[in-house]
Amino acid sequence: MSPELRCLVVGRSPTPDPGVLARLDRGVELVGPGAGVGEGRIDCIWRLFGGRLEEAPEDPLEAGLKAHPGVLWVHTVSAGIEHLRPLLVGYPEVTLTTSAGVVAVPIAEFVVACLLHHCKRLSDLDELQRQRRFEAVPLRELGDLRVVLVGLGAIGNEVAKRALALGAQVIAVRRRPELGGGPHKLPVVGPEGLTEACRGADALVLAAPLTGGTRGMIGDQQLLQMAGGSALVNIARGGLVDEPALLRALAGGPLAAAYLDAFAEEPLPDSSPLWTARGAHLSPHVSWSSPHFARRSTELFLDQLSRFRQGLPLQNAADLARGY
């Protein structure tokens, strides 16, 4: 008897959690990962990380869609979709869903770690230790910070939850301010209010998707409004920031620190001036990392799979026109 539903798995990581997959409903067959475009009928595709398969002439998702014109749904393990838009605009019948929210907790913790690192001047303390100098340095409390949070999705809300718990004042910037300040009832402004919101801010946290409207949204106008000794934290996409403007703000502007986990070009080239910029703290796009990632992403996919089989609305449906 042929299965009721067949799903092609493309990509290499994370390895789907076997304990969660053991709960897969009968009548559902997963083909792959690493099985090329699959044989026979394919109803949906689960896209993992790991782009190209060995010796594959094209992206396995693109190959799978070409080989199986009946596919109606693609679920991606990523939260962002800017890299998928060029492919999926050619498949208007396909619904794309994302894993938005799966990594919200570890990313929010990473943001708080950056803010605490900044307030407690851990780099300066490390340098004093290296020089064997027993000197006091003035520190700050995170509760004294005025934080501008750009983006109020799952990640933004988790950041707000933790920052508020530590006493910080948080104002949110979102594309549709009429939707309000989320579960924490934050004061909120639209993109047109971003520059004014940055005036005197102690920290600017970027948690927005990369779209045509957000590319380069952080530049001289915004950074020069920040308070002296302030910090930028970018755990979203490098393209949100005008890099030359950021370097100017670090070299002679108000920024004392920039915590960058995302870059316009990844891996970051050896030639990038960010490697040696004063106050720049770089990490290789790992703020999402967690030992729970495989389990959470697999649980979300199985829930989506159940909804798909029953004809129920899918979670995290992406809008290709909006870019998220």
**Helix (H), strand (E) counts: the chain:** 10, 12
Could you confirm whether 237 is annotated as catalytic? Answer: yes
Q: Active site residue: 4, 58, 196, 266, which one?
A: 266
Query: H helices of 146-186, where?
Result: 154-165
Residue with token string 């800017």: 82
Q: Active site residue: 47, 75, 174, 237, which one?
A: 237
11 within 8 A of 51, measured Cβ to Cβ: yes
The side-by-side arrangement of strands in the sheet containing 146-150 is 188-189, 169-173, 146-150, 203-206, 230-234, 255-260, 280-282
Could you confirm whether 285 is annotated as catalytic? Answer: yes
Q: Active site residue: 285, 295, 307, 309, which one?
A: 285
CA 19 to CA 27: how far, in whole Å? 18
Strands 28-31 and 255-260, sheet pairing: unpaired
Q: Give the angle 159-164-169 at the CA atoms, nearest 5°.
A: 105
Show which residues are catalytic: 237, 266, 285
